[in-house]
Amino acid sequence: MIACGKDGHRAGRTIQDGVESVENGTGIYAVKAEPRALTLREEFRIDLEDEAVAATGLTDIENLDADSRGRIFIYRRYATSGNTVFEFDSRGRFERSFCPIGQGPGEVQNPRFMRLNGKEEIPVVSMGSRKVLLFDAEGTVLRTADLPALFFPLPHGFVPLANGDYLVTHIRVDPRTLDMLKISVGLFGPDFNEWRELRAYPIPEETDLKTIFTDFPVVAASRTSIFLTSMASSREIEVYDLAGRLIRRILADYPAVDIPRGFREEFLGPLPPDHPYRRNLAFPKTFPPFLALYADDRERLYVVGHGKNPAAGANTCDIFSPSGDRIMRTSLGYQTLELGPPLRDIVIKNGRLYCVREKPSGFPEVLVFSLHWTMD
């Protein structure tokens, strides 16, 4: 699987009020010291349909991550008993599982998972007990932290940052009525108290919603930067430093992707005949450009859209350099992504790409590729 950039000058740049705007237009640029082609070579798979993997108790996958030693941590979806974190070595061999469901010490209720933090600890949110448990790779609980009252994080809403803080997407409510007011993206300290709100997006009433594509935040983080846009944005991605300062806007145009016939009927089908969405919702002719953002350990940004690469069986993905230049358009070999449940992460570190793909049988599997960059 090969992806290539094109010859060209760097994207245009302007600075206003200390914030850099990088205007890519439709261009894909050849940037000095940045790669121009990428080849993925599959190394191995962890197949949940395999009897040996099934015997570990891993029945479904919520998300995954890998540490600097290449160890793979898979988080079990829909667990009501047993362990929820499954550790495999750098070759995909099972080592251990831990973080059980329960109400005792070291146990979690209604768990939510996130990536490893900057110390390569494994944070697991126990929504039932309103705590965060931090494990080491041996499955030992290192410490715990309490969640604040009236704190309602979204699934996959926690992003650990390299400085020990957290980027959290959550719902703000009226403390008197508990009515939902807005979706907020904020910075939280290690004690899970919020110290800065980066962006807030209103939650419209069902009767007021006019379009299917709303301002729902799409986020990612690298070791030095936070990337933020929304599903309703047409071309802009904001870049913040870990102190919450806006430092850059990445602007680019993306190929239009037509909404397929039958999409409206499929979306509205489960709703009752008198639902306000049937009267009020507008369905545009094309999708907005942003479906998911990911960052790698070299500070590159991966922007996944709704376009499909039939040959690869995956969504198209634009890759941006650390300075905001689009250097490549490719697809990365993972499953086709769609609107709906929270998307599993694509992990790009250690010279590898880790992802989850659904098999035709319905069982998920983890695919591990090595990355081979061509610099000229």
On whether residue 361 sits in a domain, the answer given is no
On whether residue 373 sits in a domain, the answer given is no
On whether residue 358 sits in a domain, the answer given is no
CA triple 342-347-352, angle to 5 deg: 155
On whether residue 351 sits in a domain, the answer given is no
On whether residue 353 sits in a domain, the answer given is no
Same domain, 311 and 207: yes
Same domain, 14 and 48: no
Give per-residue pLDDT as tens, 165-224: 999 999 999 999 999 999 999 999 999 999 999 999 999 888 888 888 888 999 999 999
Read off the pTM: 0.93
Check if the beta carbon of residue 83 is closer than 8 Å to that of residue 76.
Answer: yes
Same domain, 187 and 143: no
Give per-residue pLDDT as tens, 116-137: 999 999 999 999 999 999 999 9
The residue out of 147, 181, 196 marking a domain boundary is: 147
Collapse the DSSP code of 142 into the 3-class scheme (helix H, G, I; strand E, B; otherwise coil) and give the result.
strand
Domain count, the chain: 2
What is the share, in percent, of the chain residues with pLDDT greater than 70?
94
Same domain, 191 and 320: yes
- What is the span of the domain harbouring residue 141? 40-147
Query: If you search the block for the tokens 């667990």, which residue do you land on?
Result: 79
Residue 22's Cβ-count burial label (10 Å; 0-12, 13-18, 19+) is buried
Cα separations (Å) of 43 from 46, 63, 364? 11, 20, 17
Question: If you average pLDDT over residues 83-93, what whole number do you get?
Answer: 98
On whether residue 354 sits in a domain, the answer given is no
Has residue 340 got a pLDDT over 90? no
